[in-house]
Amino acid sequence: MPVYERKSHIDVSVKELFDWHNQPGTFERLTPPWERVRVIERKGGVADRGRLVLEMKQGPFRRRWVAVHGNYVEGRQFADEQVQGPFKKWVHTHKFLPETETTSLLEDHIEYQPPLGLPGQWLAGPYLSRRIDKLFSFRHNRTQNDLKRYHPFVGRGPLKIAMAGASGMIGATLKSFLACGGHQITTLVRCAPKPDTSEVFWDPSRHGLDKTSIEGMDAVIHLGGESIASGRWTASRKDRILRSRVDSTRFLSEALASLKRPPKVLLVSSAIGFYGNRGDEVLTEGSPAGKGFLSEVCQAWEAAAEPARKAGIRVVHIRTGIVLSRTGGALAQMLPPFLMGVGGRLGQGNQWMSWISLDDLIGIFHYLLYAENLSGPVNAAAPGAVTNRDFTKTLGKVLKRPAFLPLPALVIRMIFGEMGEALLLEGQRVTPAKLTAAGFNFLHPDLESALRWELGH
Protein backbone atom coordinates (compact mmCIF):
# COMPACT_ATOMS: atom_id res chain seq x y z
CA MET A 1 0.00 0.00 0.00
CA PRO A 2 1.42 3.44 -0.92
CA VAL A 3 2.42 5.70 1.98
CA TYR A 4 3.11 9.42 1.76
CA GLU A 5 4.82 11.53 4.44
CA ARG A 6 5.75 15.19 4.66
CA LYS A 7 7.42 16.93 7.60
CA SER A 8 7.98 20.66 8.09
CA HIS A 9 9.42 22.81 10.84
CA ILE A 10 6.88 25.47 11.85
CA ASP A 11 7.95 28.63 13.66
CA VAL A 12 5.30 28.59 16.39
CA SER A 13 4.70 26.51 19.51
CA VAL A 14 3.07 23.12 19.15
CA LYS A 15 0.01 24.47 20.97
CA GLU A 16 -0.47 27.26 18.40
CA LEU A 17 0.01 24.74 15.57
CA PHE A 18 -2.48 22.24 16.98
CA ASP A 19 -5.04 24.89 17.90
CA TRP A 20 -4.92 26.28 14.35
CA HIS A 21 -5.75 22.87 12.88
CA ASN A 22 -8.61 22.56 15.35
CA GLN A 23 -10.42 25.73 14.19
CA PRO A 24 -13.39 25.99 11.84
CA GLY A 25 -12.26 27.14 8.43
CA THR A 26 -8.92 25.31 8.48
CA PHE A 27 -9.94 22.89 5.72
CA GLU A 28 -10.82 25.81 3.46
CA ARG A 29 -7.46 27.43 4.17
CA LEU A 30 -5.64 24.18 3.37
CA THR A 31 -7.44 23.62 0.06
CA PRO A 32 -5.38 24.91 -2.90
CA PRO A 33 -7.17 27.36 -5.21
CA TRP A 34 -6.65 25.05 -8.17
CA GLU A 35 -8.49 22.16 -6.46
CA ARG A 36 -12.21 22.35 -7.16
CA VAL A 37 -13.44 21.21 -3.75
CA ARG A 38 -16.09 22.65 -1.44
CA VAL A 39 -17.49 21.69 1.96
CA ILE A 40 -21.19 20.80 1.74
CA GLU A 41 -21.63 19.44 5.26
CA ARG A 42 -19.67 19.63 8.51
CA LYS A 43 -20.70 17.97 11.78
CA GLY A 44 -18.61 18.06 14.93
CA GLY A 45 -14.86 18.55 15.06
CA VAL A 46 -11.61 16.64 15.22
CA ALA A 47 -12.06 15.79 18.91
CA ASP A 48 -15.47 14.10 18.71
CA ARG A 49 -15.39 11.97 15.56
CA GLY A 50 -16.75 14.79 13.45
CA ARG A 51 -17.86 14.23 9.86
CA LEU A 52 -16.89 16.20 6.77
CA VAL A 53 -18.69 15.91 3.43
CA LEU A 54 -16.99 17.38 0.37
CA GLU A 55 -17.96 17.86 -3.25
CA MET A 56 -15.14 17.40 -5.72
CA LYS A 57 -15.27 18.48 -9.36
CA GLN A 58 -13.15 16.85 -12.05
CA GLY A 59 -14.04 18.32 -15.43
CA PRO A 60 -17.83 18.00 -15.81
CA PHE A 61 -18.07 15.32 -13.11
CA ARG A 62 -18.89 15.78 -9.44
CA ARG A 63 -18.13 13.31 -6.65
CA ARG A 64 -18.68 13.22 -2.91
CA TRP A 65 -15.93 12.54 -0.41
CA VAL A 66 -17.05 11.69 3.13
CA ALA A 67 -14.44 11.56 5.89
CA VAL A 68 -14.65 11.05 9.65
CA HIS A 69 -12.17 12.24 12.28
CA GLY A 70 -10.61 9.84 14.75
CA ASN A 71 -7.43 8.74 16.53
CA TYR A 72 -7.51 11.97 18.52
CA VAL A 73 -4.79 12.79 21.05
CA GLU A 74 -5.15 16.23 22.63
CA GLY A 75 -2.45 18.59 21.41
CA ARG A 76 -0.62 15.91 19.43
CA GLN A 77 -2.60 14.27 16.62
CA PHE A 78 -5.86 13.37 14.89
CA ALA A 79 -6.77 11.42 11.75
CA ASP A 80 -9.20 11.66 8.82
CA GLU A 81 -10.49 8.43 7.29
CA GLN A 82 -12.41 8.25 4.04
CA VAL A 83 -15.71 6.34 4.37
CA GLN A 84 -16.93 7.29 0.89
CA GLY A 85 -14.95 8.70 -2.00
CA PRO A 86 -12.59 8.14 -4.89
CA PHE A 87 -9.98 6.01 -3.08
CA LYS A 88 -10.22 2.39 -2.07
CA LYS A 89 -8.56 3.48 1.19
CA TRP A 90 -7.43 6.86 2.57
CA VAL A 91 -6.26 7.42 6.14
CA HIS A 92 -4.57 10.74 6.84
CA THR A 93 -2.92 11.22 10.23
CA HIS A 94 -1.94 14.74 11.31
CA LYS A 95 0.87 14.82 13.87
CA PHE A 96 2.14 17.81 15.87
CA LEU A 97 5.42 17.46 17.73
CA PRO A 98 7.17 20.01 19.97
CA GLU A 99 10.75 20.97 19.16
CA THR A 100 11.33 23.99 21.40
CA GLU A 101 8.98 26.30 23.28
CA THR A 102 8.54 28.37 20.15
CA THR A 103 8.97 25.85 17.29
CA SER A 104 7.26 22.62 16.32
CA LEU A 105 7.20 19.85 13.72
CA LEU A 106 4.20 19.27 11.47
CA GLU A 107 3.94 15.75 10.06
CA ASP A 108 1.34 14.41 7.62
CA HIS A 109 1.19 10.65 7.17
CA ILE A 110 -1.16 9.23 4.51
CA GLU A 111 -1.87 5.58 3.76
CA TYR A 112 -3.92 5.23 0.59
CA GLN A 113 -5.01 2.79 -2.09
CA PRO A 114 -6.21 3.98 -5.51
CA PRO A 115 -9.46 2.58 -6.93
CA LEU A 116 -9.23 -0.78 -8.72
CA GLY A 117 -6.49 -2.01 -6.39
CA LEU A 118 -3.21 -3.06 -8.01
CA PRO A 119 -4.27 -2.19 -11.61
CA GLY A 120 -5.28 1.24 -10.34
CA GLN A 121 -1.85 1.66 -8.74
CA TRP A 122 -0.13 0.71 -12.00
CA LEU A 123 -2.26 3.07 -14.05
CA ALA A 124 -2.60 6.07 -11.73
CA GLY A 125 0.13 5.63 -9.10
CA PRO A 126 2.73 8.12 -10.45
CA TYR A 127 0.05 10.74 -11.19
CA LEU A 128 -1.47 10.41 -7.71
CA SER A 129 1.92 10.57 -6.06
CA ARG A 130 2.77 13.85 -7.81
CA ARG A 131 -0.66 15.33 -7.08
CA ILE A 132 -0.51 14.42 -3.37
CA ASP A 133 3.00 15.86 -3.07
CA LYS A 134 1.89 19.11 -4.72
CA LEU A 135 -1.14 19.29 -2.41
CA PHE A 136 0.84 18.84 0.80
CA SER A 137 3.62 21.15 -0.30
CA PHE A 138 0.93 23.84 -0.60
CA ARG A 139 -0.64 22.89 2.74
CA HIS A 140 2.62 23.11 4.66
CA ASN A 141 3.54 26.44 3.08
CA ARG A 142 0.07 27.84 3.76
CA THR A 143 0.27 26.66 7.39
CA GLN A 144 3.63 28.35 7.91
CA ASN A 145 2.52 31.57 6.21
CA ASP A 146 -0.79 31.89 8.07
CA LEU A 147 0.74 31.21 11.46
CA LYS A 148 3.43 33.81 10.79
CA ARG A 149 0.63 36.31 10.12
CA TYR A 150 -1.13 35.52 13.41
CA HIS A 151 1.88 35.15 15.67
CA PRO A 152 2.79 38.84 16.29
CA PHE A 153 -0.75 39.47 17.60
CA VAL A 154 -1.34 36.32 19.65
CA GLY A 155 -0.87 38.19 22.92
CA ARG A 156 -3.62 40.66 22.04
CA GLY A 157 -6.28 37.97 22.12
CA PRO A 158 -9.03 37.04 19.65
CA LEU A 159 -11.34 39.77 18.39
CA LYS A 160 -15.10 39.99 17.95
CA ILE A 161 -15.58 41.01 14.33
CA ALA A 162 -18.69 41.80 12.28
CA MET A 163 -18.36 41.31 8.52
CA ALA A 164 -20.57 42.49 5.67
CA GLY A 165 -19.91 40.96 2.27
CA ALA A 166 -18.54 37.68 3.64
CA SER A 167 -19.96 35.55 0.81
CA GLY A 168 -17.80 37.01 -1.98
CA MET A 169 -14.40 35.75 -3.11
CA ILE A 170 -12.45 38.06 -0.79
CA GLY A 171 -14.96 37.89 2.06
CA ALA A 172 -15.18 34.09 2.19
CA THR A 173 -11.38 33.76 2.18
CA LEU A 174 -10.96 36.44 4.83
CA LYS A 175 -13.64 34.87 7.01
CA SER A 176 -11.87 31.47 6.95
CA PHE A 177 -8.52 33.09 7.71
CA LEU A 178 -9.90 35.03 10.67
CA ALA A 179 -11.83 32.03 12.02
CA CYS A 180 -8.63 29.95 11.96
CA GLY A 181 -7.00 32.65 14.06
CA GLY A 182 -9.62 32.13 16.77
CA HIS A 183 -11.57 35.32 16.06
CA GLN A 184 -15.33 35.36 16.64
CA ILE A 185 -17.02 36.30 13.36
CA THR A 186 -20.56 37.67 13.01
CA THR A 187 -21.67 37.93 9.39
CA LEU A 188 -24.21 40.49 8.20
CA VAL A 189 -26.42 38.85 5.55
CA ARG A 190 -29.27 40.10 3.35
CA CYS A 191 -31.27 36.88 3.46
CA ALA A 192 -32.81 34.94 6.34
CA PRO A 193 -30.01 33.91 8.75
CA LYS A 194 -29.30 30.18 8.85
CA PRO A 195 -30.22 28.44 12.13
CA ASP A 196 -27.45 27.90 14.66
CA THR A 197 -25.05 30.32 12.97
CA SER A 198 -23.65 33.73 13.83
CA GLU A 199 -25.46 35.36 10.91
CA VAL A 200 -27.38 38.61 11.44
CA PHE A 201 -29.89 40.03 8.97
CA TRP A 202 -29.40 43.54 7.63
CA ASP A 203 -30.98 45.50 4.79
CA PRO A 204 -29.11 48.76 4.10
CA SER A 205 -31.66 49.90 1.52
CA ARG A 206 -34.37 49.92 4.19
CA HIS A 207 -32.14 50.74 7.16
CA GLY A 208 -32.82 47.34 8.65
CA LEU A 209 -30.38 46.16 11.32
CA ASP A 210 -30.70 45.05 14.94
CA LYS A 211 -28.01 47.28 16.42
CA THR A 212 -27.73 45.17 19.56
CA SER A 213 -26.23 42.42 17.38
CA ILE A 214 -23.15 44.55 16.67
CA GLU A 215 -22.90 46.28 20.05
CA GLY A 216 -19.50 45.69 21.64
CA MET A 217 -17.71 44.45 18.52
CA ASP A 218 -13.97 45.06 18.42
CA ALA A 219 -13.96 45.60 14.67
CA VAL A 220 -16.26 45.80 11.65
CA ILE A 221 -15.30 44.94 8.06
CA HIS A 222 -17.42 46.06 5.11
CA LEU A 223 -16.70 44.40 1.74
CA GLY A 224 -20.06 44.83 0.01
CA GLY A 225 -20.75 46.25 -3.42
CA GLU A 226 -22.18 45.20 -6.78
CA SER A 227 -19.65 43.81 -9.25
CA ILE A 228 -18.21 46.40 -11.62
CA ALA A 229 -17.14 43.81 -14.22
CA SER A 230 -20.22 41.69 -14.92
CA GLY A 231 -21.76 43.73 -17.73
CA ARG A 232 -21.75 46.94 -19.75
CA TRP A 233 -22.23 50.13 -17.75
CA THR A 234 -25.72 51.33 -18.51
CA ALA A 235 -27.01 54.34 -16.59
CA SER A 236 -29.05 52.12 -14.27
CA ARG A 237 -26.15 49.76 -13.70
CA LYS A 238 -23.78 52.60 -12.82
CA ASP A 239 -26.34 53.86 -10.33
CA ARG A 240 -26.53 50.39 -8.70
CA ILE A 241 -22.73 50.17 -8.53
CA LEU A 242 -22.58 53.54 -6.80
CA ARG A 243 -25.53 53.05 -4.44
CA SER A 244 -24.55 49.53 -3.39
CA ARG A 245 -21.34 50.97 -1.96
CA VAL A 246 -22.24 54.44 -0.78
CA ASP A 247 -25.64 53.78 0.80
CA SER A 248 -24.56 50.64 2.66
CA THR A 249 -21.36 52.28 3.95
CA ARG A 250 -23.20 55.38 5.14
CA PHE A 251 -25.93 53.34 6.86
CA LEU A 252 -23.41 51.07 8.58
CA SER A 253 -21.26 54.04 9.65
CA GLU A 254 -24.26 55.83 11.14
CA ALA A 255 -25.33 52.66 12.96
CA LEU A 256 -21.84 52.18 14.44
CA ALA A 257 -21.62 55.84 15.46
CA SER A 258 -24.86 55.50 17.45
CA LEU A 259 -23.71 52.53 19.55
CA LYS A 260 -22.92 52.82 23.25
CA ARG A 261 -19.90 50.56 22.70
CA PRO A 262 -18.75 51.17 19.12
CA PRO A 263 -15.92 49.19 17.53
CA LYS A 264 -12.38 50.49 17.62
CA VAL A 265 -11.90 50.10 13.88
CA LEU A 266 -13.94 49.99 10.69
CA LEU A 267 -12.24 48.53 7.62
CA VAL A 268 -14.02 49.51 4.41
CA SER A 269 -13.16 48.31 0.92
CA SER A 270 -12.25 50.88 -1.67
CA ALA A 271 -10.23 50.56 -4.89
CA ILE A 272 -7.26 52.02 -6.73
CA GLY A 273 -9.81 53.30 -9.25
CA PHE A 274 -9.82 56.31 -6.89
CA TYR A 275 -6.75 57.63 -8.75
CA GLY A 276 -8.25 57.44 -12.24
CA ASN A 277 -6.16 56.84 -15.35
CA ARG A 278 -2.76 58.42 -14.55
CA GLY A 279 -0.29 56.96 -17.07
CA ASP A 280 3.21 56.40 -15.65
CA GLU A 281 2.71 58.55 -12.53
CA VAL A 282 3.66 56.71 -9.32
CA LEU A 283 0.69 56.98 -6.97
CA THR A 284 0.73 56.92 -3.17
CA GLU A 285 -2.02 57.44 -0.63
CA GLY A 286 -1.22 61.14 -0.76
CA SER A 287 -1.94 61.43 -4.48
CA PRO A 288 -5.12 63.34 -5.37
CA ALA A 289 -8.24 61.74 -6.79
CA GLY A 290 -8.48 61.25 -10.53
CA LYS A 291 -11.33 61.60 -12.98
CA GLY A 292 -13.92 59.20 -14.36
CA PHE A 293 -16.76 57.07 -13.06
CA LEU A 294 -14.69 54.71 -10.89
CA SER A 295 -12.88 57.60 -9.23
CA GLU A 296 -16.19 59.30 -8.48
CA VAL A 297 -17.53 56.06 -6.96
CA CYS A 298 -14.46 55.61 -4.75
CA GLN A 299 -14.54 59.21 -3.57
CA ALA A 300 -18.22 58.97 -2.58
CA TRP A 301 -17.64 55.52 -1.08
CA GLU A 302 -14.90 56.76 1.22
CA ALA A 303 -16.80 59.92 2.17
CA ALA A 304 -19.77 57.80 3.23
CA ALA A 305 -17.81 56.52 6.26
CA GLU A 306 -17.54 60.02 7.74
CA PRO A 307 -20.14 59.39 10.52
CA ALA A 308 -17.98 56.61 11.95
CA ARG A 309 -14.84 58.75 11.72
CA LYS A 310 -16.53 61.63 13.54
CA ALA A 311 -17.57 59.21 16.29
CA GLY A 312 -13.91 58.44 17.00
CA ILE A 313 -13.78 55.08 15.21
CA ARG A 314 -10.52 54.43 13.36
CA VAL A 315 -11.62 54.14 9.73
CA VAL A 316 -9.39 52.55 7.08
CA HIS A 317 -10.22 52.64 3.37
CA ILE A 318 -8.45 49.70 1.73
CA ARG A 319 -7.78 50.77 -1.85
CA THR A 320 -7.47 47.36 -3.44
CA GLY A 321 -5.62 46.60 -6.66
CA ILE A 322 -6.31 43.78 -9.12
CA VAL A 323 -6.74 40.71 -6.90
CA LEU A 324 -5.04 37.58 -8.23
CA SER A 325 -7.20 34.54 -7.51
CA ARG A 326 -7.69 31.28 -9.40
CA THR A 327 -11.30 31.18 -8.25
CA GLY A 328 -12.58 34.56 -9.42
CA GLY A 329 -11.89 38.09 -10.54
CA ALA A 330 -9.69 39.24 -13.41
CA LEU A 331 -7.20 36.35 -13.33
CA ALA A 332 -9.90 33.68 -13.52
CA GLN A 333 -11.37 35.43 -16.58
CA MET A 334 -7.96 35.65 -18.26
CA LEU A 335 -7.06 31.99 -17.82
CA PRO A 336 -9.28 30.30 -20.49
CA PRO A 337 -7.83 32.17 -23.51
CA PHE A 338 -4.29 31.83 -22.17
CA LEU A 339 -4.68 28.11 -21.54
CA MET A 340 -5.93 27.75 -25.13
CA GLY A 341 -2.85 29.57 -26.37
CA VAL A 342 -4.70 32.66 -27.64
CA GLY A 343 -3.87 35.11 -24.85
CA GLY A 344 -2.11 38.42 -25.32
CA ARG A 345 -1.90 42.05 -24.34
CA LEU A 346 -4.90 44.38 -24.20
CA GLY A 347 -4.64 47.29 -26.61
CA GLN A 348 -1.05 48.55 -26.75
CA GLY A 349 -0.33 46.94 -23.37
CA ASN A 350 1.18 50.10 -21.89
CA GLN A 351 -1.45 50.51 -19.14
CA TRP A 352 -0.23 49.79 -15.62
CA MET A 353 -1.66 46.89 -13.62
CA SER A 354 -1.31 47.27 -9.85
CA TRP A 355 -2.06 43.79 -8.56
CA ILE A 356 -2.16 42.01 -5.19
CA SER A 357 -2.16 38.30 -4.37
CA LEU A 358 -5.25 37.15 -2.51
CA ASP A 359 -3.11 35.86 0.36
CA ASP A 360 -1.41 39.24 0.77
CA LEU A 361 -4.73 41.08 0.61
CA ILE A 362 -6.10 38.88 3.42
CA GLY A 363 -2.91 39.53 5.37
CA ILE A 364 -3.38 43.29 4.91
CA PHE A 365 -6.92 43.20 6.31
CA HIS A 366 -5.68 41.21 9.31
CA TYR A 367 -2.73 43.56 9.87
CA LEU A 368 -4.95 46.65 9.72
CA LEU A 369 -7.21 45.30 12.44
CA TYR A 370 -4.32 45.87 14.85
CA ALA A 371 -2.27 48.68 13.23
CA GLU A 372 -3.57 51.53 15.37
CA ASN A 373 -1.24 54.05 13.67
CA LEU A 374 -2.81 53.48 10.24
CA SER A 375 -6.07 55.13 9.21
CA GLY A 376 -7.61 56.72 6.14
CA PRO A 377 -6.61 55.37 2.72
CA VAL A 378 -4.22 52.42 2.50
CA ASN A 379 -3.08 51.09 -0.88
CA ALA A 380 -3.52 47.30 -1.00
CA ALA A 381 -1.27 46.62 -3.97
CA ALA A 382 2.01 44.76 -4.25
CA PRO A 383 5.17 46.86 -4.63
CA GLY A 384 5.77 45.33 -8.09
CA ALA A 385 3.24 46.98 -10.41
CA VAL A 386 3.71 45.97 -14.08
CA THR A 387 2.39 47.03 -17.46
CA ASN A 388 -0.27 44.92 -19.13
CA ARG A 389 2.35 43.81 -21.68
CA ASP A 390 4.63 42.49 -18.92
CA PHE A 391 1.70 40.94 -17.07
CA THR A 392 0.65 38.89 -20.10
CA LYS A 393 4.24 37.80 -20.78
CA THR A 394 4.62 36.62 -17.20
CA LEU A 395 1.29 34.79 -17.19
CA GLY A 396 2.20 33.06 -20.45
CA LYS A 397 5.56 32.04 -18.99
CA VAL A 398 3.99 30.58 -15.85
CA LEU A 399 1.38 28.67 -17.86
CA LYS A 400 3.92 27.69 -20.55
CA ARG A 401 1.65 29.14 -23.20
CA PRO A 402 2.22 31.73 -25.93
CA ALA A 403 0.96 35.25 -25.29
CA PHE A 404 1.17 36.89 -28.71
CA LEU A 405 -2.45 37.55 -29.77
CA PRO A 406 -3.42 41.08 -28.69
CA LEU A 407 -7.00 42.19 -28.22
CA PRO A 408 -7.23 45.53 -30.05
CA ALA A 409 -8.50 48.54 -28.13
CA LEU A 410 -11.16 49.17 -30.78
CA VAL A 411 -12.61 45.70 -30.26
CA ILE A 412 -12.60 46.14 -26.48
CA ARG A 413 -14.49 49.43 -26.78
CA MET A 414 -17.01 47.90 -29.20
CA ILE A 415 -17.73 44.87 -27.00
CA PHE A 416 -17.52 46.33 -23.49
CA GLY A 417 -18.06 50.06 -23.93
CA GLU A 418 -17.12 52.37 -21.07
CA MET A 419 -16.58 49.43 -18.73
CA GLY A 420 -13.94 47.93 -21.04
CA GLU A 421 -12.20 51.29 -21.41
CA ALA A 422 -11.96 51.80 -17.64
CA LEU A 423 -11.12 48.27 -16.54
CA LEU A 424 -9.03 46.96 -19.44
CA LEU A 425 -7.39 49.90 -21.19
CA GLU A 426 -6.78 52.33 -18.34
CA GLY A 427 -4.54 51.75 -15.34
CA GLN A 428 -2.79 53.05 -12.25
CA ARG A 429 0.83 52.66 -11.12
CA VAL A 430 0.21 52.36 -7.39
CA THR A 431 2.74 51.80 -4.62
CA PRO A 432 1.81 50.68 -1.06
CA ALA A 433 3.61 53.53 0.65
CA LYS A 434 1.89 53.31 4.04
CA LEU A 435 2.24 49.53 4.36
CA THR A 436 5.88 49.63 3.28
CA ALA A 437 6.68 52.34 5.83
CA ALA A 438 4.89 50.30 8.53
CA GLY A 439 7.01 47.22 7.74
CA PHE A 440 4.23 45.01 6.37
CA ASN A 441 5.65 41.78 4.92
CA PHE A 442 4.40 40.85 1.45
CA LEU A 443 4.49 37.11 0.79
CA HIS A 444 4.37 37.76 -2.96
CA PRO A 445 6.09 41.05 -3.82
CA ASP A 446 6.73 40.03 -7.45
CA LEU A 447 4.20 38.92 -10.06
CA GLU A 448 5.74 35.61 -11.09
CA SER A 449 5.86 34.23 -7.54
CA ALA A 450 2.24 35.32 -6.96
CA LEU A 451 1.01 33.62 -10.13
CA ARG A 452 2.94 30.42 -9.47
CA TRP A 453 1.52 30.21 -5.95
CA GLU A 454 -2.07 30.87 -6.99
CA LEU A 455 -2.03 28.62 -10.07
CA GLY A 456 -0.01 25.75 -8.60
CA HIS A 457 2.87 26.11 -11.06
Q: How confident is the model at residue 118 (pLDDT cuts 50, 70, 90)?
A: low
Among residues 151, 171, 196, the one where a domain terminates is: 151
Looking at the fold, whether 164 and 146 belong to one and the same domain comes out as no
The average pLDDT across 100-113 equals 95
The domain that holds 249 is classified in CATH as 3.40.50.720
Average pLDDT over residues 147-154: 92
* Count of structural domains within the chain: 2
Distance between CA 222 and CA 206 in Å, rounded?
17
Q: Are residues 130 and 203 in the same domain?
A: no
Q: Give per-residue pLDDT as tens, 337-347.
A: 999 999 999 99
In angstroms, the Cα distances linking 216 to 174, 211, 222, 232, 262 are 21, 10, 17, 41, 6
pLDDT (mean) for 31-59: 89
Q: Please spell the DSSP secondary structure of 300-348, one letter per residue.
A: HHHHTTHHHHHTT-EEEEEEE-EEE-TTSHHHHHHHHHHHTT----BTT
Q: Are 193 and 119 contained in the same domain?
A: no
d(CA 366, CA 178): 8
Among 128, 151, 174, where does a domain finish?
151
**Residue 107 sits in a domain of what CATH number?**
3.30.530.20
Please state, in angstroms and as integers, the Cα–Cα distance from residue 121 to each residue in 59, 356, 402, following that order: 22, 41, 35
347 CB-contact burial (10 Å; exposed 0-12 / middle 13-18 / buried 19+):
buried
Angle at 428 between CA 424 and CA 429, to 5 degrees: 130
Q: Are residues 143 and 168 in the same domain?
A: no
| CB 130 within 8 Å of CB 137 | no
Distances (CA, A) of 270 to 53, 224, 242: 36, 10, 12
* 278 shares its domain with 367: yes
Instruction: Examine the pLDDT at 24 and tell me if it is beyond 90.
Output: no
Cα 315 to chain centroid distance, Å, stands at 21
- Same domain assignment for residues 113 and 238: no
**pLDDT tens per residue across span 372-401:** 999 999 999 999 999 999 999 999 999 999
Same domain for 131 and 161: no
Q: Name the residue range of residue 271's domain.
A: 157-455
Same domain membership, residue 134 and residue 280: no
**Among residues 101, 133, 151, which one ends one of the domains?**
151
Q: Tell me the β-bridge partners of 274.
A: none
Q: Do 259 and 383 belong together in one domain?
A: yes
Overall average pLDDT of the 40-45 stretch: 89
